[in-house]
Structure 1
Amino acid sequence: MSTDPTQTIPDRTYRPPGPTSRALGYFIFTSRWLQAPLYIGLIVAQVVYVIVFMLDLWHLINDVITNWNKLNEATVMLSVLGLIDVVMIANLLIMVIIGGYEIFVSKIRVDGHPDEPDWLSHVNANLLKIKLSISIISISSIHLLKTFIEVGNIGEVGAKSDTGHSYTSEGVMWQVFIHLAFIVSALALAWIDRMQNKTLLEAARAGAH
């Protein structure tokens, strides 16, 4: 096949981005710091939860001291579950603050620090979503357990729990359905993450050959 020597060959050489393109790219990259105040706000929310925890703990101690003869196991258990609920939400906040900042804003350079969380060294968006889903399931489990402890004669009209809250069979059923939806969502995220890792592993093996 003959070729025309006068035919123009397109220039495919790499051209570095111009000053405008570099400036725009740097501006977009720097805009990630707009998220920093959001994580600082979550730290403030963490402080609020510490205050809520201490107040709930004080109320529990005060009830034990002043009304120890009127307390029953269910009331104490509900108070303790409330404290656990606050702690789990605080753990959720920590994961969002540290993990989100590490992924979307800037690296947290704590390599070799004795208090570095195990998951921080290999954190990514998929792992963070799975951990958040597990935390949400745990929080939902606490709320569901509190409901099961509180409900009394749920089938009777106007039946109330030991704490005075009214419950219906339909309301409890919806709580169970929502909890199951959280579980299914977490399983779906874990499956998607596994399939992505499998695809990357197969691609790496294919590239090695």
Structure 2
Amino acid sequence: MFIWRSTIAAVSFGYKFLKIASGVFDLDEAEMILAMLGLIDAALVASLIVMVMISGYEIFISRFDEASEADNEVSFIGKLDSGSLKIKVASSIVAISSIHLLQVFLNADKYADSKIMWLTLMHLAFVASAIMLGFLEKLMSVTSKNDLQDKA
């Protein structure tokens, strides 16, 4: 299922890129900025899908640490634990939300003020959630280090 989603994300990115490339000389500056923001948004969504795929594989199927002992090709992947995954997913969601909100602000005349307000409040909720997750992860790492020192 994740393979299909990542394939769809790649095809969507390719379609957007070709659409922008074909009209690169016809777009004005504001339209080009919006188009680039759309490409960045698509790339972030695709990287979020890949990150969840890799961490899901490592959590539920096999650890990459075992494979990295034999050959060092995937050693960078095995550094995603559940805490860091939460932080990275939250950061990606905040980045995607930021780009979407920037697109809305650049087209503010096409949106009602109440919709802009709700989108801004949603973005702030994402930011607050990411900050809280980071704080809780930091608190948990300090607590687990203290527990290990107490056992030693």
- Shared topology, TM-score over 0.5? yes
Q: Please, which runs of 5 or more residues in structure 2 have no aligned partner?
A: none
Match of residue 115, structure 2, among 155, 171, 190: 171
| 2:36 matches 1:80 | yes
Q: How does 1:1-209 map to 2 (within 5 A)?
A: 41-65=1-25, 68=26, 71-108=27-64, 109-111=66-68, 112-114=71-73, 116-117=75-76, 120-152=77-109, 166-208=110-152
Q: Identity, % of aligned pairs?
A: 33
Contact 2:63 2:78 in 1 (8 A): no
Shift, 1:122, TM fit: 2.8
- How much is the aligned-residue C-alpha RMSD, in angstroms? 1.6
Which structure would you say has the larger RCO, counting Cα contacts within 8 Å and 6 or more residues apart?
2
- CA deviation profile, 1:138-159 (whole Å, cap 9, x unmatched): 000110111111123xxxxxxx
- CA deviation profile, 1:95-153 (whole Å, cap 9, x unmatched): 10001110122223541534643xx333211111111000000000110111111123x
Q: Please, which runs of 5 or more residues in structure 1 have no aligned partner?
A: 1-40, 153-165
- How many residues align? The count is 149
Answer with 1 or 2: which has the greater Rg.
1
- CA deviation profile, 1:42-68 (whole Å, cap 9, x unmatched): 111111111111111111122235xx2
Task: State the alpha-carbon separation in 2 of the partners of residues 147 and 116 from structure 1.
Answer: 40
TM-score normalised over the length of structure 1? 0.67
Question: Is the partner of 1:64 in helix, strand or coil?
Answer: coil
Which structure's residues are more often helix, by fraction?
Answer: 2
